[in-house]
């Protein structure tokens, strides 16, 4: 048993050196595995399987075989199993958070928050599963009808990143399962354990074999991605990661014309207007910039502050960032853990900005006494648009402050980016908030908050930040296809009435009847007149009406 497993209440949640294919955990030789490191201590936690193309093809075959059974389950049947996974995540929150902190490095509170956020996705999509119905659309012809139904797209290849190793898998897997799809999940080689335990929980939740398959790789990652993209069996690819890799996957999927969901890089502007509430702006900036040590795709990368509030904002931001405690995420008093991969890039952005006359307001250095992956939470002032930090995603604990004068100026500067994922606006002017949110070229806009993600909110970007949406009711639609069904020669009520007119069926209808004045009698409705006429009718009670061929011959009239 590894040292990490020995700290868990349920050591079986830590699965080493084995993929999860068709409900089984085949053993891999040590020569076919790669080491998994703790970024805080740089020590080896264990090993994960270096899966091959053959392994991926086995997983695809298992998912394909399981698809007919899983898609045939009712939405409520699928929902029960998906909800079971949510409950198991909550039940094992402490152990799962320990695994995430160990291989990702994030603080204990952040890791536990990720577990609960992930459980929320399974709970949300469990509720969506029974609601995946289509529409009935009026046809241009009176005797025809159009039905639009939703059906699962099929086998899905899901590729997840290391920064939210569980939450990103949960957001994709839960939506796919709710839609009736089967899955091949490729977890990131930096954080493989945080995806593998989903296989354990899926088994315990009652998920049928082959519905969820999990493969891992480090050096073989490009080959596995290519195999998923080129497979005719895989009908959809969902990827979260860099724009560069997203474009590669899109090209590789072209020959098989797959559905694609690509959640790629961001370069989020955080705009603070003079009329903003200062404390709200500062607290929102702390969340948007420094959550998970700045390693999220929706992190505030460029902080634009209007001249009238710049000094106050920068002072308060420095005060709050100065309170952070950096260290090993296993320490419950630590607010920010190590970086996982991009510490060199943060250092390069700081040096570039200072060389171009930015002002260092706080931090700016590595923390070698803690380890090679630690960097001080940093605040730069007097940043301009020539500095790399404004046009490249930093992915680290670096807040870059820059001044602006007018609304038009800041919108133009914010939109001057190839990517468009998230953006943030701080203002107490309602009219301005509406103007700005309409003009910003981003898939998501947060007004007076630093939190942009929610189970119910569609998550995704525009421009080079990708395509498709995750989370929300729109997210599950990305795992479905529409089927149009046109039915003709439908017998309508009007045609039945016409065919039965000679048998006085009119008296049995409940349609509103107009009133007519008869000069020699009282006012009579058409129903009254029909009733009078039927008194002399030869029809007996419950006499079958002679209906045309193809009509419902059980239709009778009682009087």
**Catalytic annotation, residues:** 263, 297
> Would you say 361 and 340 are in contact if contact means Cβ atoms under 8 Å apart?
no
> Would you say 232 and 386 are in contact if contact means Cβ atoms under 8 Å apart?
no
Identify any residues that bridge with 35 across adjacent strands, giving them in sequence order.
Answer: 47
> Would you say 166 and 115 are in contact if contact means Cβ atoms under 8 Å apart?
yes
Closest to 20 (Cα-Cα) out of 12, 11, 8: 12
220: which residues sit within 8 A by CB, 6+ positions away?
Answer: 50, 51, 52, 53
- Report the alpha-carbon distance of residue 385 to residue 269 in Å, rounded: 12
> Would you say 266 and 298 are in contact if contact means Cβ atoms under 8 Å apart?
yes
Question: Given the DSSP bridges, would you call strands 422-426 and 466-467 parallel, antiparallel or unpaired?
Answer: unpaired
- Report the alpha-carbon distance of residue 400 to residue 294 in Å, rounded: 12
Provide the angle, in degrees to the nearest 10, between the axes of the packed helices 75-91 and 193-205: 130
3-state secondary structure of 217: coil
- φ and ψ at 44, to 5 degrees? -80, 125
CA 334 to chain centre: 29
Q: Check residue 256 and report its DSSP letter.
A: G
> Would you say 230 and 262 are in contact if contact means Cβ atoms under 8 Å apart?
no
- Report the alpha-carbon distance of residue 540 to residue 559 in Å, rounded: 8
Kindly tell me the sign of the dihedral angle through the C-alpha atoms of 318, 322, 323, 325: positive
- φ and ψ at 356, to 5 degrees? -100, 25
Q: What is the dihedral of CA 103, 106, 108, 111, to 10 degrees?
A: -80
Q: What is the dihedral of CA 291, 292, 298, 299, to 10 degrees?
A: 60
- Report the alpha-carbon distance of residue 405 to residue 402 in Å, rounded: 11
Tell me how long the chain is: 559
240: which residues sit within 8 A by CB, 6+ positions away?
Answer: 159, 160, 161, 168, 172, 263, 264, 297
């Amino acid at each position: 048993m590894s040292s990490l497993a020995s700290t868990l209440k349920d050591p079986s949640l830590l699965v080493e050196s084995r993929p999860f294919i068709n409900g089984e955990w085949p053993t891999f030789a040590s020569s076919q595995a790669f080491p998994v490191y703790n970024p805080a201590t740089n020590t080896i936690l264990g090993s994960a399987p270096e899966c091959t193309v053959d392994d991926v093809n086995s997983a695809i075959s298992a998912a394909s075989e399981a698809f007919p059974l899983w898609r045939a389950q009712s939405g409520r049947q699928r929902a029960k199993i998906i909800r079971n996974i949510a409950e198991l995540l909550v039940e094992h929150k402490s152990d799962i958070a320990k695994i995430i902190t160990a291989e990702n490095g994030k603080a204990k509170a952040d890791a536990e928050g990720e577990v609960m956020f992930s459980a929320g996705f399974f709970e949300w999509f469990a509720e969506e599963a029974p609601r995946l119905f289509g529409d009935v659309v009026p046809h241009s012809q009176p005797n025809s009808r159009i039905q639009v139904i939703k059906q699962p797209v099929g086998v899905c290849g899901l590729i997840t990143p290391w920064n939210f190793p569980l939450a990103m898998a949960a957001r994709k897997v839960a939506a796919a399962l709710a839609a009736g799809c089967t899955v091949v999940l490729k977890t990131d080689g930096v954080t493989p354990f945080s995806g593998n335990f989903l296989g354990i929980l899926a088994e315990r939740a009652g998920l049928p074999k082959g519905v969820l398959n999990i493969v891992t790789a480090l050096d073989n990652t490009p080959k596995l991605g290519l195999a998923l993209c080129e497979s005719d069996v895989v009908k959809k690819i969902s990827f979260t990661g860099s724009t560069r890799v997203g474009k590669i996957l899109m090209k590789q999927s072209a020959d098989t014309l797959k559905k694609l969901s690509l959640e790629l890089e961001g370069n989020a502007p955080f705009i603070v207007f003079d009329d903003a509430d200062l404390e709200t702006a500062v607290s929102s900036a702390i969340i948007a910039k420094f959550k998970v040590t700045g390693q999220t795709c929706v992190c505030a990368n460029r902080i634009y502050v209007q001249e009238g509030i710049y000094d106050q904002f920068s002072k308060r931001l420095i005060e709050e960032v100065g309170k952070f405690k950096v260290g090993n995420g296993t320490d419950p008093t630590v607010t920010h853990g190590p970086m996982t991969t991009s510490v060199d890039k943060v250092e390069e952005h700081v040096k570039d900005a200072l060389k171009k006359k930015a002002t260092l307001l706080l931090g700016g250095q590595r923390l070698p006494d803690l380890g090679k992956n630690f960097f001080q939470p940093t605040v730069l002032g007097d940043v301009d648009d020539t500095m790399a930090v404004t046009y490249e995603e930093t992915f680290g604990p670096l807040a870059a402050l820059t001044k602006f004068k007018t609304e038009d100026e800041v919108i133009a500067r914010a939109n001057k980016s190839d990517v468009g994922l998230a953006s943030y606006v701080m203002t107490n002017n309602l009219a301005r908030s509406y103007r700005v949110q309409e003009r910003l070229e981003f898939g998501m806009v947060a007004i007076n908050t630093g939190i942009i993600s929610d189970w119910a909110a569609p998550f995704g970007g525009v421009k080079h930040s990708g395509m498709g949406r995750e989370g929300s009711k729109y997210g599950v639609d990305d795992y479905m296809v529409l089927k149009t069904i046109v039915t003709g020669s439908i017998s309508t009520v009007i045609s039945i009435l016409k065919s039965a007119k000679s048998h006085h069926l009119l008296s049995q209808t409940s349609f509103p009847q107009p009133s007519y004045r008869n000069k020699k009698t009282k006012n009579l409705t058409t129903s009254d007149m029909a009733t009078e006429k039927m008194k002399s009718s030869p029809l007996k009670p419950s006499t079958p009406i002679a209906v045309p061929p193809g009509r419902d011959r059980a239709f009778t009239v009682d009087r």
